Amino acid sequence: MQYNCAREMCGIAGYVGHRPAAPVLVDCLQRLEYRGYDSCGIAVVSDAGVFLRRSVGPIAEFREEVLSAAPTGTIGLGHTRWATHGRADLANAHPHASCDGAVLVVHNGVIENAFELRERLVRQGHRFTSDTDSEVVPHLLEQGLTEGLSMDEAVSKLPSQLVGSYAIVAVRQGQDELFVLRKGSPLVVGVGEGEYFPASDIPSFLPYAQRVIYLSEDEPFAIGRSGIRRLQGAGASRPAGPYLEVPEPVSLNVESVSKGSFQHFMIKEIMEQVGTIGRLLESPPATLATASELLRGAQSIKFVGAGTSYHASLYGQFLLATTLHLDSEACVSSEFQFRADALRPGAVVVALSQSGETADTLQAVRIARDRGARVIALVNSEGSSLTRAAEVVIPLRSGPELSVAATKSYTSQLVALTLLVERLSPDPMEGARTALEARDSLLELTSDAARAHIASLAHNLARHSQLLLIGRGGNYVTALEAALKIKEVAGVAAQAFPGGEMKHGPLALVAEGSPVILFYDRSQVDQAELAASELITRGAVIYTVGPQPLRSSSLHVRVHDAGAATAISQIIPMQLLAYELAKLRQLDPDHPKNLAKSVTVL
């Protein structure tokens, strides 16, 4: 068997308590579907033995299979896998087991020294059945037990054996405890009444528990019905013993992680943006003042983010340049390492992330801190790794975002950046006013009439496999984010370009009937008219998004001009367009092909 060092994502669920574990685990896995997956599985331990089932089908079908088997046992673990390496088949699905089948493990992350560990374990007589790096964990635990270690000792030894990132939940037949350990991958523990739910994300256990424990890195724990024990791991900074910290209340509720009357999470979250933006504007985070003082004294400013958060970073760079005349740089998180040598003490890095668990962004933050930079985080997920790594945290307060495509977290990032820059502005009221104008325009942009208008635009574009989007300044940021949404959700090859770059190559893509979307504000109408005229002479069909239609607009989407904050409102019709295009192309907008919600491995 060829070994591929499969980097494992995406969802972990565990249970120990008084209920039958199997239906609880499958229910928790269904609530993690939004993270994306290609296989799933559970293991339940009881006096009758180990019940292990895995599937490459949808969880709804897997649920029927599991519940019809009526497994017994009140302790177990489950996993949804979204692999970046290794086939999506039953052999690679989790949970993975030791040779004797008594130790079962689920794992997210990447074990960088898995190849060396695997070779050593094979020499010691262990048999592997998958291509994954994850499978070394149950065999390491089994080897420790063979050598006379207790399960506590074998788990505590893992941090000294594993190199890389991991969130691990393990169980051993004959023991009524789950063993958990994390480093660089998300893992929290939901706390109910005499029951516990280790999980990748809070929404999975919300119907059962409304308190949560955020686990520290490289501190192994054992979780039983009577409580949580801290083990003495190699990297642990505190002595072994009972877990004494008080679990924190969860701010989410079941309704916030359900679709309600909406067909998909994506449209629900688009429609929620009036409220999410309003919360930020009406009750700005207290940490804005601290963050603004850090920026005021910064020797240099870098923004880092991945995907949609990178586009928000570009907006932050645009705001600093146009509002405060300050130089800054927006970097894709994965590319930050190549620019980090230029960092000096006194630099400030502003890191943006919806999940707070994006591996590239966390790596960029670690590099920045190692070089003496101060870190501000704009993040939506409470208790995430990024909130712990940053010096100042600005919470986005968007609520849970369960569709893979980011919508409300993006506009909250833009608003938070607007409020942050406003604190430094010589005219702070201007920033607040424009942000309020953008928010108010959302009521019109999400109305039934507006949605019907966008649906007609989607019908015009649905037959095309390629789409160009063009803008200048802050409108170019909108073009980039709109292109990403359309690519992600609708599978259309959408490309964004700055308006002034059309003559430098992109015009070669324009042919008879080519659809082009132009974005502009009131200061750019004349430039937009010239660009549209040039495109039409080459056969393009022009669609426009701005305060007024152009002479050549085939279909116009009117968006109120709110100065620098126009980007906040301008993206809304494009989110709706991506959603409508996905439906017309018979795609699931909540689960785009080949994508997962949180990219937690490098």
Token digits for 220? 């192994």
Are 289 and 423 a contacting pair, CB within 8 Å?
yes
Question: Out of 10, 28, 40, 331, which one is annotated catalytic?
Answer: 10
Are 330 and 312 a contacting pair, CB within 8 Å?
no
Are 92 and 158 a contacting pair, CB within 8 Å?
no
Residue at 426: amino acid letter? P
Pairing of strands 541-546, 515-519: parallel
Burial of 405 from C-beta contacts in 10 A (0-12 / 13-18 / 19+):
buried
Tokens 């942009």 correspond to what residue?
A: 445
Q: How far is CA 157 from CA 102, 112, 153, in A?
A: 19, 17, 6
Question: CB under 8 Å to 504, separation ≥6 — which residues?
Answer: none
Q: Quick check: is 503 catalytic?
A: no
Between helix 136-146 and helix 114-123 the angle, nearest 10°, is: 40
Question: Out of 157, 302, 408, 597, which one is annotated catalytic?
Answer: 597
Beta bridge partners of 97: 104
Question: CB under 8 Å to 527, separation ≥6 — which residues?
Answer: 472, 499, 520
CA angle 308, 310, 313 (to 5 degrees): 120
Q: What is the 3-state secondary structure (H, E, C) of 111-162?
A: ECCHHHHHHHHHHCCCCCCCCECCCHHHHHHHHHHHCCCCHHHHHHHHHHHC
Residue 268's H or E segment, with its range, is helix 265-271
Beta bridge partners of 6: 132
Tokens 């003082």 correspond to what residue?
A: 293
CA angle 121, 599, 53 (to 5 degrees): 55
Which residue, 257, 251, 290, is CA-closest to 382?
Answer: 251
Burial of 426 from C-beta contacts in 10 A (0-12 / 13-18 / 19+):
exposed
Which residue, 382, 380, 392, 389, is CA-closest to 248?
Answer: 382
Residue 368's H or E segment, with its range, is helix 359-370
Helices (H) then strands (E): counts for the chain: 17, 25
Question: CB under 8 Å to 304, separation ≥6 — which residues?
Answer: 310, 313, 330, 331, 332, 333, 336, 349, 350, 351, 352, 361, 364, 365, 368
What does the buried/exposed string (b/e) look like for 236-263 if buried means 16 or more CB atoms within 10 Å of the residue's CB?
beeebeebeeebeebeeeeeebbeeeee
Q: Quick check: is 5 catalytic?
A: no
What are the phi and psi torsion angles at 77 (to 5°)?
Answer: -145, 155
Q: Within a 13 Å sphere around the CA of 511, how many CA atoms are in the beta-carbon half?
A: 4
- Tell me which residues are annotated as active site: 10, 597
